[in-house]
Amino acid sequence: MSTTRGERPTVDPDHLTLGAVIHHQQEPGHARVGLFFVATHWEGEPFNAEPDEANKLVWEDPHLLPTTTIPYPASGVRAWLDGVRFAPHGW
């Protein structure tokens, strides 16, 4: 696929499947629900949309996540790999 530098990725919803739902509590009174999707096809280049929050964007084997992976998204990846559709995190 051909893309230009800086082009935001686009994903057709037909190429997404729900990987896992995580109910995350960061601290008491501060919770969120994260939906983790698996994209089977996309166009453009993924980019780090939160450079102040995340060090860098890298492609890694999901079975061997770096030890520096933020625990909340790591729990979403683990749930997806384990076939768990819903999991609490931080409760």
- From first to last of the 91 residues of the chain, give the pLDDT tens digit: 444 455 778 999 999 999 999 999 988 899 999 999 999 999 998 888 888 987 788 889 999 999 988 899 999 999 999 999 999 999 9
Output the CA angle 44-60-14, nearest 5 degrees: 45
C-alpha–C-alpha distance, residues 9 and 44, integer Å: 4
pTM: 0.79
